[in-house]
Structure 1
Amino acid sequence: MNFVHRWNGDYFGLFYNDALYTKDGRHVGYRRRHEVVSLKGLYLGEVKNHRLITRTANVGKRSIGGVPMLRMAVGTTVTPMNEQPLDLPAGFEDFPEPDTL
């Protein structure tokens, strides 16, 4: 289990066996190498420097989706602190907020 933050430092949730869960335990996507895709196969972003970020050129890109898993209880009981925000590199935007997925 690896906790993960958005580029702006906000705690997003965690990866468990390459499945991405929000901080409230909802399964919202999968890690495929360094990219993160939604359950429907839409590009959400990627993992860079152990944080989530979205490459604007890849927004709308499709891939193979996956099967949603049950809500993970761990996401509701463990809340790591936020981290320092990082400057967004050119061609990127912050990863979507958990509530929008």
Structure 2
Amino acid sequence: MDWLWTWGGKCFGYRDGDDLLTHDGRHVGRFNGDKIFDPRGRYLGELMNENRLIRRKGVTSLRGYNFTPRAKRAAYAKYANYVGYAMYAGYEDFPAPESL
């Protein structure tokens, strides 16, 4: 289990194998390499710098496989937020866990 933060520094949740889970235990994404897709196969974002989540702007045609989310797991206490990184051109911050 590897904890992950948004590019802006907010604690998001964790990676368990190829699954992306929020800190409150919801299965919201699946990894395909460094790219992350939601249960309907839509692009959510990508993993950069080993533990930061970021989203490329305007990527609507990139699709992954659909999947059925796992049942909600036990919640974990969030880790502290970090200082955000400077945003790359053409990217935006990964959605907050509450918005997924």
Q: For the residues of structure 1 that align with 2:34 and 2:76, how far apart are their CA atoms?
A: 27
User: Do the aligned residues in 2 keep the contact of 1:54 with 1:94 (CA within 8 Å)?
Assistant: yes
Structure holding more helix per residue? 1
Q: For the residues of structure 1 that align with 2:57 and 2:31, how far apart are their CA atoms?
A: 18
Give the RMSD, CA atoms, in angstroms: 1.2
Query: Per the alignment, in what secondary structure is the counterpart of residue 58 of structure 2?
Result: helix
Q: Which runs of no fewer than 5 residues in structure 2 stay unpaired?
A: none
Q: Which runs of no fewer than 5 residues in structure 1 stay unpaired?
A: none
Identity %: 36
Superposed CA deviations along residues 34-76 of structure 1, whole A, max 9, x for unmatched, are 0000011000000011200001132453221112101121xx2
Report the TM-score, using the length of structure 1 for normalisation. Answer: 0.91
CA spacing shift, 1:6–1:59, aligned 2, 3 Å? farther
Aligned to 1:65: 66
Q: How many residues align?
A: 99
Runs of 4+ in 1 over 4 A off after TM superposition: none
Aligned to 1:89: 88
1:26 Cα offset (Å): 0.5
User: Do the aligned residues in 1 keep the contact of 2:32 with 2:64 (CA within 8 Å)?
Assistant: no
User: Do the aligned residues in 2 keep the contact of 1:36 with 1:44 (CA within 8 Å)?
Assistant: yes
Aligned to 1:15: 15
CA spacing shift, 1:67–1:94, aligned 2, 3 Å? same
Report the TM-score, using the length of structure 2 for normalisation. Answer: 0.92
